[in-house]
Amino acid sequence: MKHIAVFTSSRSDWGILETLVRRLRSTTNLKTTILASGSHFDFRFGHTVDSITAKYADITVLLDAGPVGKSPHDASVLAGSLSQLVSGWCEESSPDAIVILGDRFEALACAFAAVLHGIPIVHLHGGEITTGAIDDSIRHALSKLARLHFPVHEDYKRRLIQMGEDPDSIIVAGSLAVEGLSNEPILSRAELGSRLTMDIPDSFVVCAVHPVTTSTTEAMAILDALEIAFSEHPHLQVLLTAPAPDPGFEAIEQRFEQWCSRQPEVFSYRASLGSTNFLSLVSLSAGLVGNSSSGLLEVPSLGVPTLDIGSRQQGRVRASSVIDAQATVSDISAGLRQMVSPGCQELARQTSNPIAGEAPSHAIIEVLRATEFSSMGPKLFHDLETTT
């Protein structure tokens, strides 16, 4: 029986990976283990490990590497501790492969330990570009450590081939994030209001701003411009969600708290919504505003627009419902006007998501079942043919 581990370090990757875990768990001749770490153990981000163990306690290994911290040094300390924990587990359990999604620094720490133990890495969402985050470099590093790749778009497959990856190791399956929407209960306004103990406004946007890890100033520039731009659209209420657990998140939280304190009739803040609540909230809104990857992954499939601000997501494939804006008042204000317009709302309802696949989890599992990981041999660099 093959043993497949799935690594998760945050609410964002778990919201995507759970679809795969659910399928893996019910697949015969496959043993599944969830490796839970990172911000899942941080109460500031909802202590989301509880939501994992509530459903999957019997297959979950808890790798608490310590607090997320506030600085690059804190992140480095966490990554070092996590690598040790993963190494210890690999020594005891010897899985056949470890599935890693995306681009977080915790994922690289996990991959480092796995490679040293000779355990193949299966990488999801490789080949993408996000120029406004160090995640870009981490994602490419993970691709170079991985033996199997499941990008979500043909453009990303071509990029992986450019990086020297064997085309036979790359399967374009589409995004688990989009597939997961078919299994995610989208709540009605009344149901969501009851869950969140609040009245859901008639006209509102959801705002998610995360640290821009390649810049010390961009996130604050986005917030400065957003505050003024929102004041130019007084009819809109704004529901704020917590930033990602990257260095710089506390400054964003403090700014959100200031907005809520000064204008409670406009702004409200929720530190941890959970996947169902977040997606339900966005589906009822006029759109998602900020620099979150959700705006390019799931939101186009919810039938509402995205206003993507700044560089954090630059380089990713976009649906036609995504509006791009620079971190300026004029750009953001114009984007808000476009977002709430009847034409843009109708376009979003008709938009098809370019990263949707037929059944990504089934495609991934079929490859996992068919692959003889123990006989893979050394990883080779795939050279492109060149003309001289």
Query: Percent of the chain at pLDDT above 70?
Result: 99
Length of the chain: 388
Predicted confidence band of residue 357 (pLDDT cuts 50, 70, 90): confident
Q: Is 87 in the same domain as 48?
A: yes
CATH number of the domain bearing residue 243: 3.40.50.2000
Residue 275 has pLDDT above 70, yes or no: yes
Q: Which long-range contacts (CB under 8 A, 24 or more apart) does 256-262 make?
A: 259/227
In a domain, 58, yes or no: yes
Number of Cβ within 10 Å of residue 187's Cβ equals 20
Q: Is 259 in the same domain as 368?
A: no
Q: What does the pLDDT look like over 180-216, one tens digit per residue?
A: 888 778 899 999 999 988 889 888 999 999 998 888 8
> How confident is the model at residue 323, as a pLDDT?
97
Q: What residue type is 161 in one-letter code?
A: I
What's the number of domains the chain is made of? 2
> How confident is the model at residue 68, as a pLDDT?
83
Residue identified by tokens 């720490």 is 109
CB 103 within 8 A of CB 136: yes
Residue 131 has pLDDT above 90, yes or no: no
Domain of 23 in residue numbering reads as 2-173+358-375
Q: Span 92-109, mean pLDDT?
A: 95
Q: What does the pLDDT look like over 324-334, one tens digit per residue?
A: 999 999 999 99
Q: Is 317 in the same domain as 370?
A: no
Q: Is 241 in the same domain as 367?
A: no
Q: Is 163 in the same domain as 26?
A: yes
Q: What does the pLDDT look like over 217-243, one tens digit per residue?
A: 999 999 999 999 999 998 899 999 989
Q: Is 116 in the same domain as 145?
A: yes
Residue 45 has pLDDT above 90, yes or no: no
Q: Is 220 in the same domain as 318?
A: yes
